[in-house]
Structure 1
Amino acid sequence: MNGTAGPADRDRWFHRPLPRPGAGLRLVCVPHAGAGTAVFRPWADRLAPGVELIAVRLPGREKRLREPPARDWAALAGDLAAALDRHVPAPYVLFGHSMGAMLVYETVRGPLGRPPARVLLSGCRAPHVPRAQPAIHDLPPERFRAGLGRLAGTPAAVLADPALMDLLEPVVRNDIRLAETWHHPAPGPLPVPATVFWGTADAIAPPAAVAAWRSLAPHGFRARRVEGGHFFPFLPHGHNPHLLGLLDDEIAPAPTSRGSDGA
């Protein structure tokens, strides 16, 4: 596995937009395909004062731009697990959206010395559920970029900038390849309790595909309904107040016992 236990390795993997050294809990957030730590910056000062947000920086983006993106799940999950064990003290909760949720699953199912107290899986089909949309990762550049536009997760200004897309496309395409080919016909269970979040208009991770996580959560399961499409956590202004309210509920020291919102 890459890296050492020093500050440089910590800062390579993790970004703390609002450091809270005395926090009683860390919310560690893994981004969706092609995204970096910046997508979680608007969340940091909206969390409860006793919670510190830590955003995961994956290879191939931001200060890791010169690193090649991970080609397979095993290597990426193993490296992230090692970084979590080195640099993130317990207790912590692990959140992932879309491809990020897939990486959360792969990471907690591997050799993780200090597992999270709970996983929060957002906008993600269960691993044994086939994808709901046609694959785009192997399309030629023009059609691939058109497909990204339909997903609504890439800003139009970025898609319209050929030089910027030439820089970003290899990482985005690789991430989407990992996400679109992710499938476990007979997946193993999660080792910790799970909460799933699903968007009411999400065509990529429809309600039934998200609800299927229930069979993989023997230690506890909750489902939370959020208005919006696939990128519901980040809209309309970089954060979704309803989702952040649900997150506060999920990561409180004594989570409420409210029933599931259904999925």
Structure 2
Amino acid sequence: MAETSTGSAWIRRFHPAPDAPVRLVCFPYAGSGASYYHPLSRALAPDVQVLAVQYPGRQDRADEPCAEDLTVLADRVAEELLDRCDPPFVLFGHSMGAVVAYEVALRLEALGAPPRGLVATGRRAPSLPRVRRVRFADDAELVAELKRLNAGNEAVTRLLDDEGVLRIVLPTLRGDYRAIERYHRPSAPPLRCPVVAMGGDADPVTPVADLEAWERHTTASFRLRVFRGGHFFLDTHTDAVRQEILDHIAAVTPR
């Protein structure tokens, strides 16, 4: 998969868009990597420059240990983005990525380089506790959890029946679950930028009420959009999700 250098092990750029007036920084879900956002990058170029964050422990960083503390992970990503925050930028994260994006946004605001907006999908608000303990599951239970989250996606189900794929995926996924399940911000501070939350009406792990709670994490405007579907609703509503992102970008960035 072609990409151009950003000078950082943490940031991927698949489709250079040097004249784009805005950047969208994308954060992957647990077990995933930057390449998940390649299709979105292709669809938005050249009007939006998409940058995808690459966490350690996957894809071309597979020889590095996973970050098992989300606050430390956010510290590192914020450092990497600080010199890449011009032109105006918006953060977008799915599931675990939504929380990492939120934590990075807090840090960038404190450093004087605030994002114009945040799009959080498939994830409860940071102040809500996570009661499930998937990190303690054995391999069979973990695979069952993945199949539940990807219900209806036959391609993913077939991959999860492949022992070779599981040997690669499960250690990374388990490391990410250790990080996300230890994370809780009962008094999480609000952002100063507008927030959009999106989710599926049949998501087995993120009910709509948990998405609504994102409103308390911004002093600016908030919008909630609920689609038909499960945890990975964005894979079956790609055009609508992309339009929501574009509408958010248009609303929070100067013409």
8 Å Cα contact 2:135/2:174 also seen in 1: yes
Deviation at residue 113 of structure 1 after TM alignment: 4.2
TM-fit CA distance, 1:178: 2.0
Give 1:129's aligned residue.
128
CA contact (8 A) 2:125 2:211 kept: yes
Q: Provide the TM-score with structure 1 as the length reference.
A: 0.85
Deviation by residue 1:65-101 (Cα, 9 ceiling, x = unmatched): 1111102122100000001013342311000011000
Taking structure 2 as the reference length, the TM-score comes to 0.88
SS in 1 for 2:136: coil
**Aligned match of 1:240:** 238
Q: How does 1:72-151 map to 2 (within 5 A)?
A: 72-110=69-107, 111-131=110-130, 134-151=132-149
2:227 maps to 226
Letter in 2 for 1:164: V
Shift of 1:9: 6.8
- Which residue matches 1:172? 173
Shift, 1:16, TM fit: 1.5
- For residue 254 of structure 1, report the CA deviation from its aligned partner: 6.0
More helix by percentage: 2
The aligned runs of 1:1-263 (5 Å cut-off) are 10-47=7-44, 49-110=46-107, 111-131=110-130, 134-152=132-150, 155-235=156-236, 240-252=238-250
Q: Whole-Å Cα distance in 1 between the matches of residues 53 and 31 of structure 2?
A: 13
Question: Do the aligned partners of residues 90 and 148 (structure 1) sit closer, same or farther apart at CA in structure 2, a change above 3 Å counting?
Answer: same
SS in 1 for 2:193: coil
What's the CA shift for 1:170? 1.5
Deviation readout 1:5-31 (Å, 9 max, x if unpaired): xx9773421221211011100111101
Mapped partners of 2:146, 2:231: distance in 1: 12
Q: How much identity, in percent, do the aligned residues show?
A: 36
Query: How far apart are the structure 2 equivalents of 1:254 and 1:8?
Result: 28
CA RMSD of aligned residues (A): 2.2
**Residue 209 and residue 8 in structure 1: after superposition, are their counterparts in 2 closer, same or farther (change >3 A)?**
same
Return closer, same or farther for 1:22/1:150 CA change in 2, 3 Å cut-off.
same
Query: 1:131 touches 1:204 (CA, 8 Å); kept in 2?
Result: no
The CA distance in 2 between the partners of 1:164 and 1:95, in whole Å, is 27
Count of aligned positions: 245
Q: Is the 8 A contact 1:211 1:223 kept in 2?
A: yes
CA–CA distance in structure 1, aligned partners of residues 213 and 26 of structure 2: 22
One-letter amino acid of the structure 2 residue matched with residue 222 of structure 1? R
Question: How far, CA to CA, are the matches of 2:190 and 2:251 in structure 1?
Answer: 24
Secondary structure of 1:168's aligned partner: helix
Question: Secondary structure of 1:109's partner?
Answer: helix
Moved more, 102-111 or 21-30: 102-111
